[in-house]
Amino acid sequence: MKTLSYSLLLFLLWIPRVLTILFAIFISLFAFDVFDQGTGFFKTLLALLIHLIPTFLIIAILVLSWKWPLIGGIGFILLGLLYVYWANRNIEVYALIYIPLFLTGVLFLLSWLLRYRIKEAQDAYNE
């Protein structure tokens, strides 16, 4: 039978990963505005790739943080700070972007800090 602490630790392990995937999908939706420009195929493809650069950054950090959560914690917090710096005048408007980055970074840091307890709970459950 699963204990509550095991479930919470497992939740802490997986929630930053799932939130990052959902956030990458959300950010990717903003790239679809390139199809309204009416340019040719190659210009539209180039514009789409340029608009997807933030998504590529998020996915790259996710791939690295899947095994090393400390990289995810630091990486997402730095991305959030970079975005706050970039959007310095309209910080309230862009909160939908930087708050999930900070939250995900903090969750990855918590996952990293509790990695030994998570491993012990997984090992105890599998015995």
The predicted pLDDT at position 78 comes to: 95
The predicted pLDDT at position 33 comes to: 83
For 72-101, the DSSP string reads HHHHHHHHHHHHHHHT-S-TTTTHHHHHHH
The predicted pLDDT at position 2 comes to: 57
Tell me how many domains the chain contains.
1
Q: Provide the domain limits for residue 30.
A: 4-126
The predicted pLDDT at position 16 comes to: 94
pTM for this model (two decimals): 0.84
| pLDDT, tens only, 39-62 | 888 888 898 899 899 999 999 999
Extract the residue ranges of the chain whose pLDDT is less than 50: 1
Are the CB atoms for 6 and 121 separated by under 8 Å?
A: yes
